[in-house]
Amino acid sequence: MNRDEFLLEMDEILDLPAGTLRGHEKLEELPNWDSTSLITFIALAENNGVSISPGQIVTCSTVSDLLRLAQAESNAS
C-alpha cells in the first residue's frame, strides 16, 4: 500500500471525506481517533498480513507515523 492509498484508508476509518488527511495531523487532535479506529487499524493491517500491537501505536503521534509503522512491520514480516 502506498502513501496515498494509506491516507485514503485512514480517511475511511476516521469517517472523513476522501482526501482530507495529509499525514501531518496529530492523532490526539483527530476527534474520530478512538478505540474503534485503533482496533480497525490493527485488524486491517492484520488482514494485509502485518502484525501491529497497541503498544507500537502508542509511540505514534501523527498519521504519517502510523504509515511508517505499518511499512516497517510490513517489510519485517
Residues that bind another protein in the complex, under the rule CB under 8 A: 9, 12-15, 32, 35-36, 39-40, 42-44, 46-47, 51, 53-55
Of 39 and 72, nearer to another protein (C-beta) is 39
Phi, psi of 62 (to 5 degrees): -125, 170
Q: What are the helix and strand counts (H, E) for the chain?
A: 4, 0
CB within 8 Å of 38: residues ≥ 6 apart: 54, 57
Distance in Å, CB of 39 to another protein, minimum = 6
Of 10 and 62, nearer to another protein (C-beta) is 10
